[in-house]
Amino acid sequence: MDSEDQVVDQPTLTTSKGIKFITLSDEEKVRIYEPWKNSIIVKLVGKRMLHYYLKRKIQELWKPTEDFQLIDLGVHYYIIKFKKKENMDKVMYQGPWFINEHFLSITRWKPNFVATQEKVANSAVWIRLPQLPTKFYDGNFLEKIGNAIGRLLKIDICTSTTLRGRYARLCVELPLEVPVQPFIYVVHHKQAIHYEGENFLCKNCGRLGHIAQKCSFIIQKNRDGKNEDTKQGIINNYK
């Protein structure tokens, strides 16, 4: 077999209009994705920062145990490429993170991330489920609850010897552009959802990542008497 024969199992497809279409084999996916598996995609919400300054701030904030690259993806998204899993885990599970009081959204690296197509910035956040009935403290069931609220990343069941008793913390990925849900029905139980982190949940619009004083949404009653919010600047006659 000569060297040309070896590429036969990775065909370049051609559409009827003559456009070439290159696919990745499973083996290539493993090889190409491997160096990125501990990487994190970040975006500083509502603030632009120069690359070197952002990198310095991230260094001070996370104090990772290795040098890292901060790669600009465009439209204010960056990849932080860690080699060590411990550094990724710390960032993912010890947030929320802020730089100069601006929220730093974090998402695990994913293969097909295209910054300009990312309409909704997601971020990992910790939530608590206070007074969740004891019978629901079941790993698989907590996973189901977490995935109903967002994309579950981690479960942490805390046992406090003080007044609190047992409570569940879930790390979930949530979109920042959508107001958060204050509760969820777990079977017939109305379960409150508490979002961790001070100055993190806007009391005006219910979105994560900014405070009410910096909120750019205007809450108005619509004709049905329901709350409706609009991005500031869109309404001309509002003063």
* Interacting residue ranges for Zn ion, rule: CB under 5 A: 202, 204-205, 207, 215, 217
**Shortest distance in whole angstroms from residue 117 CB to Zn ion:** 24
CB-nearer residue toward Zn ion: 156 or 228: 228
CB-nearer residue toward Zn ion: 49 or 215: 215
Burial of 208 (0-12, 13-18, 19+ CB in 10 A): buried
CB-nearer residue toward Zn ion: 115 or 215: 215
**Shortest distance in whole angstroms from residue 231 CB to Zn ion:** 10
**Shortest distance in whole angstroms from residue 205 CB to Zn ion:** 3
Residue with tokens 């979105």: 207
- CA-to-CA dists, residue 111 to 25, 29, 39, 144, angstroms: 14, 9, 11, 25
For 41-66, b/e burial (b = at least 16 CB within 10 A) is bbbbbeeebeeeebbebbeeebebee
**Shortest distance in whole angstroms from residue 25 CB to Zn ion:** 46
* Rg (alpha carbons) of the chain, rounded to whole number: 22
User: d(Cα 139, Cα 195) in Å, to the nearest integer?
Assistant: 20
Structure-derived torsion over alpha carbons of residues 109, 53, 93, 126, reported in degrees to the nearest 10: -100
CB-nearer residue toward Zn ion: 73 or 216: 216
Q: What is the largest CA-CA distance in the chain?
A: 76
**Shortest distance in whole angstroms from residue 217 CB to Zn ion:** 5
**Shortest distance in whole angstroms from residue 204 CB to Zn ion:** 4
Question: Is the Cβ–Cβ distance between 168 and 128 less than 8 Å?
Answer: yes
Q: How many CB atoms lie within 10 A of CB 24?
A: 13
CB-nearer residue toward Zn ion: 148 or 178: 178
| 10 DSSP assignment | S
Give the DSSP H or E segment for 57. helix 51-62
CB-nearer residue toward Zn ion: 147 or 222: 222
